Amino acid sequence: MGGGGRGGRGGRVSSSDVAAQRAANAEAPRIPHLLPRIAELFQPHRGALAVTITLVLVSAGLSVLPPLLTQRAFDEGLFPPGGEPNVPVLLQLVGLMLLLWVISAGLGIAQTWLTATVGNAVMARLRVRLFEHLQRMELAFFTRTKTGVIQSRLQNDVGGVASVLSNTVSSVIGNTVTVLAALVAMLLLSWQLTLVAVILLPALIAAQQRVGQVRARIATKTQESLSDMTAITQEALSVSGIMLAKSFFRQQAEVERYRAENDTQRGLQVQLQMSGQWFFAMVNVFLSVIPAVIYLVAAFLLQADVAVTAGTLVAFTTVQARLTFPLLGLMRVALDLQTSGALFARIFEYLDLTPAITERDDARDVEASQVGRIRFEHVTFRYPDAGDDQRPTLDDVSFDVEPGQFVAFVGPSGAGKTTISYLIPRLHEASGGRVLFAGDDVRELRQGSLIEHVGIVSQETYLFHATIAENLRYAKPGATDAELEAACRAASIHDTIAGFPDGYDTVVGERGYRLSGGEKQRIAIARVLLKDPPVLILDEATSALDSVSERVVQQALDSAARGRTTVAIAHRLSTVAGADVIHVIDRGRIVESGRHDELLALGGVYARLVAEQSTDVVRVPVEPRPAG
C-alpha cells in the first residue's frame, strides 16, 4: 500500500515480507539475538526477579552444604580417630542437616510462587501486546492471512513459551550456582577425583548444541503444522464452513483434510519428543558410571599413597550425585531455549510487522465545520501483491461530495467501487493522489477522529455471538435502553425485536445466524444509527437480500441517510435512482457522472446496466416427457 506503508524505518518488517522472514528464521541461530528481546519482557518485573534470584542463590548455596556435613558425620561422628562414634557431634550435624533441608524446602515454595507469578504475567503481557499490535495492522493483512494462523500465534506460540518464561531464569541461575558450588566442593574434597568426574563434559556440551539445533528446526515445523490445523478448524467448524460442507456433502473430505494435517502433527510431535533422547541417555549413563569409576580411581590413589578417607569418598559421590540433576537441568534448559527460540521467532516476526497505514505524530482531529465534505484528487490504488503488469484497481479517480449529498457509485463487479468506500475512512491507503475528508488529507488526520465521523453498513453484516443489546452497544458502550430503542425504531427493527421472547436480550448466535438476513442488516443499521455519524457509507447493503427484505431494509437506509452525507456503493441500481449524483465506475475509472435521468439519456454504461437489470428472466422451455 501507499503512503504510510512505504519507506519504512530500519529494522522494521513489512507484512508482505513474512514468508521470507519465516524462511530465514528456519535456519538462523535464534537464541543469541533473541535473548535481549526476551530479557526486555521481564523489565517490568525487575523487583520480583531480584527477590527470585536472591532466593535461588541462597537455596543453591545451601544445597551443597549437606554433603560436606556428611563428610564430617563420617569422619568425626561415626568413625572418629578414637574409634568410638561421637554421638553429640552426630546429633549436632544431623540437626543442622535437617534444618538446612527445611529451610531449602521453604525457599523452594517461595521461589516457585514467584517464578509462576512473573512467568505468567510476562506471558499474559506478551499475548496482549501481540493482540494489540495485530489490531493496528491494515485491513489487507487480514484479507491475505488465515484467521486460524493468527489465532495460532496468539494461543499456541505464546502458550508454548510459557514454561520457558516461568522457569528459565530460576532454573538457569539455580542450576548454575549449584553446579559451580558442587564443583568447588568436589575440588576441596579431591582435585584428582574431580578431573575424572568432569573429563567428558566438554564433549557433552558440544553434543547438546547439535541436538538443540535439530530440535529448533523440528519445533518450527511443528508450530507451522499446528497453525495449519488451527486454520482448518476455524474454517471447517465455523457456521459458514459447516454450511458449505453440508451443502456439498463434503464433511468427510473435511475430516480427511484434518486427519492428514493431524498425522503430520503427530509425526512431528514424535520427532520432537524423541530428538535428544539418545543424548540424555548417554548423559545418564556417563553420570551413573562415574561413581564406580571414582571408587576404582580411589583405589589407585590409595596405592599411590594419596590420602582418601571413607568420608571423603562418600561426600564426593554425594556431591557428584547432586551435580547430576542440576547439570541435566542446565542441559534441558539449553535445549528448551533453543527449541522455544522457534516460537519466540514466530512471535517477534508478527511484532516486527509494520502496519502499512500509520498515524503521523502531528496528526490532527477532523475539522468539525467541514465534516461531510469528501474529495478524491487523482487517486490511484493498487494492492501491494498486484504485479506491475496488472492494471490498478483505481486509476486517476477524482470526484467531490458535498455535505448532505447522497452520492452513489455503480458499475460492473470488480470495477473498484468498494475500494473507494475503504479509502474514505482510510481502511486502505491510496497508492497515488489524495483523499480529503473535511478538507484535510486523511493521512494527516487522527485515525480515531476520522472513524468517529464515519459509519459503515456493508453487505456482510457481522454480529457477535452475544445479545442484540450487546451487539448494538458495540457502537456506543454507554447507550441507554431508550437510545437502543430509538435507533432500532429508526432502523425498522424494534417491533421485530420486541416480538422475540427475550427481546433485546436475545442471543443472536454465531455471526447472527439465528436471525434472518434482513433482521441482521437492520440491526447493523441500528448500530450505525446509535453511533450517529455525519457521514454514512453503504457498501451494497441490500444486494444479498430478497426483494421483501430489501424493501424493508431500504426504508431503514433511507431513514438513516436523512440529514447525513451518504456514499452508497450499489449493485441494484433501483436503490440509488434518487441519488444527487451517480458515478459510474468501469475498470477503475469514473466513466460517467450525473443524475439517474441524465445518465439514461446518455445511453452509455449506466443505461446498459439499467437495461440488464430490467430484462425479464428468460424462461427455458420444458420439453414434454416421452410417453411410457
HSE (side-chain half, CA atoms, 13 Å) at 557: 30
Looking at residue 277, its pLDDT comes to 73
**Residue 139 cell numbers, joined:** 485491513
Task: Say whether domain 363-453+536-544+567-614 belongs to CATH 3.40.50.300.
Answer: yes
Residue of 525 and 302 predicted with greater confidence? 525
Q: What share of the chain is helix, strand, coil (3-state, %, to 5)?
A: 65, 10, 25
The string of pLDDT tens digits covering residues 9-60 is: 334 444 444 444 444 444 444 556 777 888 888 888 888 888 888 887 788 7
Is the model's pLDDT at 401 over the cut of 50? yes
The string of pLDDT tens digits covering residues 56-110 is: 778 877 776 777 777 778 777 777 776 777 788 888 888 888 888 888 888 888 8
Residue 75 Cα to chain centre, angstroms? 61
Q: Please indicate, yes or no, whether the overall pTM of this predicted structure exceeds 0.75.
A: no
| Domains of the chain, residue spans | 10-354, 363-453+536-544+567-614, 455-532
Looking at residue 619, its pLDDT comes to 36
Instruction: Round to whole Å and give the CA distance between 323 and 496.
Output: 74
The string of pLDDT tens digits covering residues 227-271 is: 788 778 777 776 667 766 766 677 888 888 888 888 888 888 888
Superfamily assignment of 455-532 in CATH? P-loop containing nucleotide triphosphate hydrolases (3.40.50.300)
CA-CA-CA-CA dihedral for 114, 117, 123, 129, to nearest 10: -110
Output the 3-class SS for 209-223: HHHHHHHHHHHHHHH
Q: What is the mean pLDDT of residues 187-202?
A: 75
Looking at residue 545, its pLDDT comes to 65
Q: Which residues contact 356 (CB under 8 A, 6 or more apart)?
A: 1, 4, 5, 14, 15, 137, 138, 140, 141, 384, 429
Looking at residue 123, its pLDDT comes to 84
Looking at residue 17, its pLDDT comes to 44
Looking at residue 581, its pLDDT comes to 95
The string of pLDDT tens digits covering residues 303-328 is: 777 767 777 777 777 777 767 677 77
Cβ-based neighbour number of residue 304 at 10 Å: 8
Looking at residue 243, its pLDDT comes to 62
Mean pLDDT of the chain: 79
Topology of domain 10-354, per CATH? ABC transporter transmembrane region fold (1.20.1560)
Looking at residue 37, its pLDDT comes to 82
- C-alpha closest to that of 407 among 626, 624, 564, 213: 564
Whole-Å CA distances, 330 to 114, 171, 462: 20, 7, 50
Identical topology for domains 363-453+536-544+567-614 and 455-532: yes
